[in-house]
Copies of this chain bind each other. A is one copy, B any other.
Amino acid sequence: MSKKKQFVEKVTPMEENFAQWYTDVVKQAGLVDYGQVRGTMIIKPYGYAIWENIRDELDRKFKETGHSNVAFPLFIPESLLQKEKDHVEGFAPEVAWVTHGGDEELAERIAVRPTSEVLFCEYYSKNIHSYRDLPMLYNQWANVVRWEKTTRPFLRSSEFHWQEGHTAHATAEDASEETERMLGIYADLTEKYLAIPVIRGRKTEKEKFAGAKYTLTIESLMHDGRALQSATSHHFGPEFAKAFDITYLDENGDTQFVHQTSWGLSTRIMGALIMVHGDNRGLVVPPRIAPTQAIILPIAQHKEGVLDKAYDLRDQLKDIVRIDIDASDKTPGWKFNESEMKGIPVRIEMGPRDIEKDQVVLVRRDTGEKEFVPLNELKERLPNVLEEVQQNLYNKALAHRDSKTSTATTMEEFNQTLDENPGFIKAMWCGDVACEEKIKEETQATSRCIPFEQEKVADTCVCCGKEAKEMIYWARAY
Q: Which positions in A face B, CB cutoff 8 Å?
A: 1-4, 33, 35-37, 40-45, 48-49, 51-52, 68-77, 80, 92-104, 109-110, 112, 119, 122-123, 126-127, 129-130, 132-133, 138, 142-143, 145, 147, 158-159, 161
Contacts and interface: CB of A to CB of B under 8 A. Distances in A.
Given A74-B159, A98-B98, 4 more contacts: A3-B130, A35-B119, A36-B77, A40-B75
B33 A123 contact: yes
A360 to B, nearest CB: 27
B73 A159 contact: yes
A100 B102 contact: no
Contacts of A42: 70-73, 119, 123
Given A94-B102, A159-B74, A48 B68 contact: yes
Contact of A112 (B92, B103, B109, B112): B112
Contact of A74 (B45, B102, B129, B145): B145
B119 A73 contact: no
B33 A77 contact: no
Contacts of A92: 102
B72 A45 contact: no
Given A102-B95, A129-B1, A48 B33 contact: no
Given A92-B102, A100-B99, A112-B98, A33 B127 contact: yes
A112 B99 CA distance: 11
A406 to B, nearest CB: 37
A44 B120 CA distance: 11
A96 B96 contact: no
Contact of A147 (B101, B109, B158): B101
A294 to B, nearest CB: 19
Nearest to A133: B3
Contacts of A122: 36
Contact of A93 (B43, B102, B132): B102
Give the 7 A-B CB pairs with smallest separation, nearest first. A45-B68, A101-B147, A40-B73, A35-B73, A37-B75, A43-B71, A97-B100
Given A98-B96, A99-B99, A45 B119 contact: no
Nearest to A42: B72
